[in-house]
Amino acid sequence: TISWWDTPETAERMAAVLDWVTQALSPDRRWAGNDTARALPDDASVVELFTRRAAETPDSIALDGPEGPVTYGEFAHRTAVVAARLLAMGVARDTVVGVFADRTVAAMVAIWGVLRAGAAYLPLDGHLPDARVNDLLTEAEAPICLVQRPHDTRDVLPANCTGIVDRKSTRLNSSHITI
């Protein structure tokens, strides 16, 4: 039984409990799973490594979620479509592209599409208030934001930001285009 007693030992006992919780939730620094330092083969970028993996194992599962499994081949194709569209719209190395999506396969496709285009992505949580999303896009000077349904119904895009909505979206306004 745990109870609260305001005694001189309370602070020490609570510190001991917090130390125990911290130790229980944090792996020891010597734990082998923390040894993730590896050299990239041929000084390849993560995008190049992904592209190689997709070419080598196109039928292997790359992602699995509520939408079902997605193979490397399908994932690579979908990210290439996003990257090509972004490049056609003038996205370059110094461009920030907003990604306003939930934790879904579509979000991963958007993120990897932005990376394949050579740009940086700005993750935007769907739980943020509209004004905050607008402020973040404005501050980042993002000319484009990839928007997942149902967030395409929200009024979050600054005037100088074009929204790109997944082609499955049903509601589009003048500031949204589809891929």
Q: What is the pLDDT of residues 132-145, one digit of tens each?
A: 888 888 888 888 88
pLDDT on residue 76: 92
pLDDT over 70 at 179, yes or no? no
| C-alpha to C-alpha distance for 53 and 68, rounded to whole angstroms | 20
Higher pLDDT, 57 or 156: 57
Q: 147 has which bridge partners?
A: 100, 165
Higher pLDDT, 100 or 34: 100
pLDDT on residue 104: 82
| C-alpha to C-alpha distance for 88 and 155, rounded to whole angstroms | 25
* Peptide bond preceding 150 in cis form (omega within 30 of 0): yes
* Peptide bond preceding 66 in cis form (omega within 30 of 0): no
pLDDT in tens, 115-124: 999 999 999 8
pLDDT on residue 27: 60
Higher pLDDT, 60 or 9: 60
Half-sphere CA count of 5, side-chain side, radius 13 A = 9
pTM exceeding 0.85: no
